[in-house]
């Protein structure tokens, strides 16, 4: 039932253009760091034909048990105070570990996020990196407090088209 509903979702035309730009860029990698789950994300990516765009999907592992019920496990436990609201993952730790363990040395990271749980990942970025933040959501509100030392340049985007335009410009 859940997979049928998810398969009705469509990727916005501008988002598809941005994903195609990432796919075509020889030095660009895209990863997903999400508090959702692997069944949900992989189903959408495969249905929309964009699974190959992403070199990694870092999320809560999920599977179906013998009764056909989906079970979701935590990605990892942590003690990060910034991510206390999501005890199942610290996106900052995930991003830091991905970059540390990657065979590729990234000269620039473009991180997009909108939730409060994206703040820790944004704080991992360097001054050569870019944080793309969705206007009016938890991450922008957390940044507006001015209590965090963000090294990356931050671009606030209002609409999906703006986000896609920013992503495409870095490919």
Binding residues for Mg(2+): 114
CA distance 92 to 98: 10
Please say whether the beta carbons of 133 and 157 come within 8 A.
Answer: yes
Going by the annotation, the residues of the binding site are 114
CA distance 123 to 99: 14
SS3 label, residue 157:
strand
Q: Dihedral (C-alpha) 94, 46, 171, 105: value to the nearest 10 degrees?
A: 40
Token duo for residue 8: 């009705």
Beta strands 130-134 and 153-157: pairing type?
A: parallel
Please tell me what DSSP assigns to residue 116. Answer: G
Please say whether the beta carbons of 150 and 143 come within 8 A.
Answer: yes
């Amino acid at each position: 039932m859940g997979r049928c509903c998810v398969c009705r979702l469509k990727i916005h035309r501008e988002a598809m253009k941005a994903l195609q730009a990432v796919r075509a860029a020889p030095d660009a990698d895209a990863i997903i760091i999400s508090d959702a789950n692997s069944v949900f994300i992989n189903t959408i990516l495969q249905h929309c034909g964009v699974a190959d765009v992403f070199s990694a999907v870092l999320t809560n592992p999920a599977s179906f048990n013998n009764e056909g019920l989906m079970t979701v496990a935590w990605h990892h436990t942590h003690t990060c105070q910034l991510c206390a609201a999501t005890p199942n993952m610290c996106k900052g730790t995930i991003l830091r570990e991905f970059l540390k363990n990657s065979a590729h040395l990234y000269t620039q990271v473009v991180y997009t996020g909108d939730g409060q749980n994206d703040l820790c990942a944004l704080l991992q970025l360097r001054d050569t990196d870019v944080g793309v933040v969705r206007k009016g959501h938890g991450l922008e509100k957390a940044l507006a407090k001015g209590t965090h030392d963000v090294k990356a340049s931050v671009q606030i985007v209002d609409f999906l088209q703006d986000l896609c335009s920013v992503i495409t410009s870095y490919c």
